[in-house]
Amino acid sequence: MKVQRVYIDTSVIGGCLDHEFAIWSKGLLRDFQEGNLLLVVSTIVTAEVTAAYEAVQMQYEDFLAVNPEVLEVTEQAILLAEAYQQRKILTPKYYADGLHIAVATVAEVDVLVSWNFKHIVHFNKIRLFNAANLEMGYKPIQIYSPREVTTYGTD
């Protein structure tokens, strides 16, 4: 069986430090450590973590220890993120959220995982992102929270 490539955004890393989300973010990290899932991040995540609290930076080291695939922001991803903006799926203030989705879409990851329920893991937003993806010639992307993806903390 093919191991799923899972892109995480910065909220998943921070989720390890949040009482409400830690069980599932840490469970996802454990899935990566055990090889149940393949971790994918991007240079966007690295930049966001660099600007975050030291505790988040230290937590990111645990994710980096599993040797993730690191995606660059390509011209194709920028064009797709701009398409999200043109369609007013997100406001310019949340451009980076759309860029996470665009980078993951262009790289054809199996799933994008986030705790961002307002701009990413949101039924109507997912439909709009995927409509834009299809219009731009890309496959739809699966978007879930860590709670729905990890095999840990679900008992």
Question: Which domains does the chain show, CATH number per domain?
Answer: 5-148 (3.40.50.1010)
Residue 154 has pLDDT above 60, yes or no: no
**Per-residue pLDDT averaged across 70-75, rounded?**
98
Percent of the chain whose predicted confidence (pLDDT) is above 90:
96
**Per-residue pLDDT averaged across 43-69, rounded?**
97
**Per-residue pLDDT averaged across 20-39, rounded?**
97
- Are the C-beta atoms of 6 and 110 separated by less than 8 Å? yes
Q: How confident is the model at residue 152 (pLDDT cuts 50, 70, 90)?
A: confident
Per residue in 76-97, pLDDT (tens digit) is 999 999 999 999 999 999 999 9
Residue 50, burial from CB neighbour count under 10 angstroms (0-12, 13-18, 19+): exposed
Q: How confident is the model at residue 1 (pLDDT cuts 50, 70, 90)?
A: confident
Residue 21 has pLDDT above 90, yes or no: yes
The per-residue b/e assignment along 98-137, b for 16 or more CB within 10 angstroms, e otherwise, is bbbbbbbbbbebbbbbbbbeebbbeeebbebbbebbeebe
